[in-house]
Amino acid sequence: MLRFALGGLAANKVRSALTMLGVLIGVASVILLLAVGNGSSQAVKDSITSLGTNSLTVSSTNLRGSATAARKLTVDDAKALAGATDAPSIKSVAPVVTTTATALYGNISYTPGSIVGTYPAYFETANQKVVQGDYFSNDDVLNSRKVAVIGSTTAKQLFDTEDPVGKRIVLGGTPFTVVGVLATKGSTGFNDPDDVVIAPLPTVQNAFTGFGSVSQILVQADSADATTAAQSDITRILMGTHAITDPGKVDFRVSNQASLLTARESTSKTFTVLLGAVAAISLLVGGIGITNIMLVTVTERTREIGIRKALGAPKAVILGQFLTESTLLSVLGAGLGVVAGIVGSRFSIVGIKPVVIPQSVLGAFAIAVAIGLFFGSYPANRAASLRPIDALRHE
Amino acid sequence: MTARQLPAQQQPAQQRSARQPAAQQPPVIQIRHLTKAYGHGDATVHALRGPLAPGTGEPEGVSLDVEQGDYVAVMGSSGSGKSTLMNILGCLDVPTAGRYLLDGIDVGHLDEQQLSLVRNRKIGFIFQSFNLVPRTTALAQVELPLAYAGVRAAERRRRALAALSLVGLSERAGHRPNELSGGQQQRVAVARALVTAPAMLLADEPTGNLDSRSTRDVLAIIDDLNASGRTVVLITHEDEVAEHAKRVLRLVDGQIVSDVRQAPVDGPPPALRALAGARP
C-alpha cells in the first residue's frame, strides 16, 4: 500500500513537492516562531538571574494628594535597614545615588550612561562582578576616596585596548582613579548595564549630588525565597523611620527586580502565543493544500479507482490508499519542516537567539500528520464512495 | 448472506472440472425478468426490457440462464443494451427490477462491501480498453485482485506468475502498461481476470481495440480457458469473434431476439473443435 502511495506521489512530482512545501512551511514556521518566542523569554529569564533574583529596590514615591510632602530616602534610612536587628531576611543594604557627568581621559571625552555612588554591598546585590582590578572597599567609602569601578562599555570607550586599572579619569572636574572593571553583562535591550561608573557614595555625593537624599536603596535578601519577608521588613522599618502609620500612605516603594521582569516575561509569552497562532494558521493552510491536491488526484484517477473497484477492491482499501497518500504527503512535508525549523533556529533572528522547544517539534509534527489524515479523509472518502460504473466510464 | 461466507462457497467452483455434465451444476447465471431503465418520467429509457407482457404492455424483463462451462457471445449494435447487461452481470450496476443469481447468490440483496467481494471472487473482467492500472508492473496488476482477496504475498506471486505464463507473458512480468503493446496489455488483463479462478469471465469487446493478430492471440487464450472449464460471457459486435462462442445471443432494443447454440456446453469451443477435427 505504501508502495502504491509512493508511486502515486511520484507520478506528479512537482504537485506533490508543492503540496509538501505548504506543510513544510507550516511546520517550520511553528517550530521557528515558537523558538523565537521562547528565545526571547529565555533572554528575559537570563537577565533576571543576572540582576540577582534576591535583590530589592527601595525608591521614594511622591504620593499624590498627600497632605505632607513625601520624605526622600536618605542614608539614614539605609542605615536603619542595615542596623535592624529584627529583620533577619535582610542580608545587605546599599544606598544608591545616580547622576551623569562627562568623563575625560587624556583627550578622550565620553559620557557614561550613569554614575552610581554606593556602598561595596552594591556589587553583590546588583550582581556586578569585577574582572580586572578590584572592588572599592568600605574603607574607601569611609574616607571618601576618589576611586571608581567602571563598566566594560565605559572602559572600551575611554581606554579602548589600554588597561584602565590605575589610570586617572576626570569626572565632571573631579579626578578619579580606576580600580576595577566590571564583567560584561550584555544589553537587555533598553539600556546598557555595562555603561556605568561606580564610585563610593560620599565621593559622588560630595562631587555631584550633595549630601541630601539618595535615589534608591538596594537591599539584598538572604535568598530568593526570602524576598517577600525582606519586602515586608523593609516596609515596616521605613514606615518607622518615616513616621507613617497608614500602610496606604507610604512614600516609598519596594520593588522586586524579579517580579518586574516576570511581568516582562509574561509579555514575551503572549508574544510567543501570537507567533504560534500565526504559524498554526500557515499549517492549516498547508493542510487545505493537501485537501485541494488530493481532490485533484481523485478526479484524475477516477478511472483507476473504477478499475480497482471492478477488481473487487473494498471501500476500505481505496479509502486507505488515498489516506496513505495524503498522510505520506504530510509526514514527508512535516519531516522536512522539522529539519528546516531546526536548521533555521540556529541563526539568530532580529537579535533573538531562538531556543527550540522540543514539544513544539513533536507537536507540530503530530498536528501536521493529523491534518494530513483529517484533510485527506474528505477526498479519500469521495474516492471510496465512487460507484464503479461511473468511475469506469470517467474519461 | 454475510461476506465471510463467500470464500467457502468459492471452493466447489474451483474444483469444478470441464467435463462434468452441466446438468449436475446449477447455472452460473440466472436472470429472471431483469429490467434496467435510465431517467425518469417521459425521458425514461429502457435499456433492458425484454418482451412486453401480453396483458399490460409493461416490459416483462430479460430472463437468461448461463450454464457452467458455457461460452456465450452477446451481440448487438450500440444501444441494444448489451453494455447495460454486461454491467449488471458484472455487478457494476444494479438492475431496476428483476432477480440476478450469480453462482447461486442473489446479488440484488448485497451491500457495497459484499458486492466488491463478489466482483473479486466470482467475476473476472476483461475490458475493451484493457483498463490496466497505470504505472504498475504486469505482475503487480495480476496480483492486485489477489491482494484485495487477502492472499499472502508469496502465494500471490506464485499464482500471478502462473497466470502470466498461461497468457504467454511470463518474461514481461516486470513491464509497465506503457511498455507493452495493446495485445500484451489485453493478455495481462486476461491474466488478471483469471488469476482469482472466478466463476465467470466477463469480456466486454475484448478485441475491440486490437489488431487482427492480437485478436487471434487473445481469443485463443479465451478459447483455451473455456476448454478448461471456465464460463465465459463475451460481448461483441463482430461476427468473427462470435464464431468462437458455443452460444450466441442477439440483443435488439433491450430484448433477446435470437439465441443460437453453436456447440454443446460440455464440449470444446467451436474454434478448438475445428482444430481437433482437422487433426487425423
pLDDT in the model for residue A235: 85
B1 pLDDT band, cuts 50/70/90, is very low
Locate all alpha helices (DSSP H) within chain A, ordered by sequence. Answer: 2-11, 13-51, 75-83, 121-125, 138-142, 152-159, 201-204, 227-241, 257-300, 302-310, 315-344, 358-384, 388-393
Q: Is the separation of the CB atoms in B47 and B78 below 8 Å?
A: no
What size, in residues, is chain A?
395
CB pair distance less than 8 Å for A392 and B131? yes
Has residue B30 got a pLDDT over 80? yes
Residue B144 grid coordinates = 492486485
pLDDT in the model for residue B17: 44
The predicted-structure confidence for A168-187, as pLDDT tens digits, reads as follows 888 888 899 999 998 887 66
The mean per-residue pLDDT over the stretch B148-172 comes to 92
Q: Is the separation of the CB atoms in A375 and A295 below 8 Å?
A: no
Question: Any chain A CB within 8 A of the CB of B113?
Answer: yes
pLDDT in the model for residue A51: 63
How many degrees, rounded to 5, is the angle at CA B162 between CA B157 and CA B165? 125
Question: Any chain B CB within 8 A of the CB of A312?
Answer: yes
A49 pLDDT band, cuts 50/70/90, is low
Output the CA–CA distances (angstroms, integers) from residue A123 to A80, A117, A129, A220, A377, in the order listed: 20, 11, 7, 10, 64
pLDDT in the model for residue A205: 87
pLDDT in the model for residue A48: 67
The mean per-residue pLDDT over the stretch B84-99 comes to 88
Q: Give the mutation candidate from B38, B92, B126, B200 for the A interface (greatest A CB count, under 10 A).
A: B92
pLDDT in the model for residue A144: 86
Has residue B256 got a pLDDT over 60? yes
pLDDT in the model for residue A191: 66
Which is more confident, B92 or A5?
A: B92
Query: Considering the domain B26-278 in this protein, what is its CATH number?
Result: 3.40.50.300
Question: Any chain A CB within 8 A of the CB of B121?
Answer: yes
A52 pLDDT band, cuts 50/70/90, is low
Has residue A135 got a pLDDT over 60? yes
Q: Where are the domains of chain B?
A: 26-278
Closest residue in A to B116 (Cα–Cα): A312
CB pair distance less than 8 Å for A310 and B92? yes
| Closest-CA distance of chain B to residue A306, Å | 9
Distance CA A317, CA A308 (A): 9
Distance CA B245, CA B263 (A): 8
pLDDT in the model for residue B186: 92
pLDDT in the model for residue B22: 45
Question: Any chain B CB within 8 A of the CB of A309?
Answer: yes
pLDDT in the model for residue A220: 83
CA nearest neighbour of B134 among A2, A329, A301, A12: A301
Closest residue in A to B140 (Cα–Cα): A4
pLDDT in the model for residue B245: 92
CB pair distance less than 8 Å for A315 and B113? yes
Cβ burial of B209 (10 Å; 0-12, 13-18, 19+) is middle
Distance CA A204, CA B76 (A): 115
Question: Any chain B CB within 8 A of the CB of A51?
Answer: no
A392 pLDDT band, cuts 50/70/90, is confident
Segment holding B85, helix H or strand E: helix B82-89
The predicted-structure confidence for B189-205, as pLDDT tens digits, reads as follows 999 999 999 989 999 99
Rounded-to-10 torsion of CA B23, B27, B28, B30: 170
| Closest-CA distance of chain A to residue B17, Å | 24
CB pair distance less than 8 Å for B92 and A313? no
pLDDT in the model for residue A189: 54
| Closest-CA distance of chain A to residue B148, Å | 5
Task: Please provide the average confidence, as pLDDT, over all residues in chain A.
Answer: 83
The predicted-structure confidence for A61-94, as pLDDT tens digits, reads as follows 765 544 455 567 888 888 888 887 777 888 888 8
CB pair distance less than 8 Å for B93 and A389? yes
Has residue B46 got a pLDDT over 90? no
Q: Which of A25-29, A190-194, A241-245, A343-347 has the lowest mean pLDDT?
A: A190-194
pLDDT in the model for residue A233: 84
What size, in residues, is chain B?
280
**Strand, coil or helix: A317:** helix
pLDDT in the model for residue B157: 93
Question: Any chain B CB within 8 A of the CB of A67?
Answer: no
pLDDT in the model for residue B175: 92
The mean per-residue pLDDT over the stretch B213-226 comes to 91
A258 pLDDT band, cuts 50/70/90, is low
Output the CA–CA distances (angstroms, integers) from residue A39 to A188, A227, A357, in the order listed: 13, 27, 9
